[in-house]
């Protein structure tokens, strides 16, 4: 419960050596089970298209697909995105570049989010326990009680998150 999950965590769990290898494996499984996209992922080519922004959703780094609203886990050490829902169809199957905060900002954002107390739920493994953790504190924003989750969006700063943490004390 003391870290933010990245796509690398799923790679380790599933035996994939990299995020690109994970995409290739999952794409292959999808092709076998139900047919996949007309254009396979272009994993060896340089990422192309409009960059997408990483965010933290329930304790994990993700990107929401700008084309279909699917979402996939991503990794700051391999900053590329491939949507397994639409196959990056509008980007011709090319990986998209992902924009993360710089390393110092990312570490500070993660540190501040991890200060937020959560209630761990029973789950079969650590990754599912992290994702399923429920916020223990709430703050009031515009007259509405909002649970203090381990979420972060690109337009928020670590100072914004710290301010929310202080408001919950």
- DSSP for 40-90 reads --B-SSPP-SS-EE-EEETTEEEEE-TTT--EEE-BTTB-EE--TTTTTGG
Instruction: Compute the half-sphere exposure of residue 117: CA atoms within 13 Å on the CB side of its CA.
Output: 7
**Per-residue pLDDT tens listing for the chain (169 residues):** 689 999 999 999 999 999 999 999 988 888 777 665 667 789 988 999 999 999 999 999 999 999 999 999 999 999 999 998 888 989 999 999 999 999 999 999 999 999 999 998 889 988 999 999 999 988 888 888 888 999 999 999 999 999 999 988 8
- The angle, 0 to 180 degrees and rounded to 10, between the axes of the packed helices 158-167 and 103-114 is 10
The full set of domain ranges for the chain reads: 7-101, 104-162
Q: What is the pTM of this model?
A: 0.90
Q: Two tokens at 73? A: 């886990």
Identify whether the C-beta of residue 81 lies closer than 8 Å to the C-beta of residue 96: yes
């Amino acid at each position: 419960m003391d870290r933010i999950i990245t796509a690398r965590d799923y790679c380790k769990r599933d035996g994939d050596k990299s995020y690109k290898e994970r995409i290739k494996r999952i794409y292959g499984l999808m092709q076998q089970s139900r047919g996949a996209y007309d254009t396979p992922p272009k994993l060896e080519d340089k990422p192309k298209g409009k960059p997408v922004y990483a965010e933290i959703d329930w304790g994990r780094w993700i990107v929401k697909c700008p084309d279909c609203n699917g979402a996939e886990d991503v990794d700051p050490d391999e900053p590329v995105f491939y949507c397994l829902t639409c196959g990056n169809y509008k980007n011709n199957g090319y990986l998209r570049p992902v924009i993360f905060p710089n390393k110092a900002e990312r570490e500070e954002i993660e540190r501040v989010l991890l200060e937020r107390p959560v209630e761990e739920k029973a789950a079969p493994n650590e990754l599912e326990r992290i994702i399923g953790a429920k916020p223990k504190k709430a703050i009031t924003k515009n007259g509405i009680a909002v649970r203090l989750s381990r979420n972060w969006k690109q337009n928020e700063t670590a100072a914004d998150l710290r301010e929310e943490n202080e408001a919950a004390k």
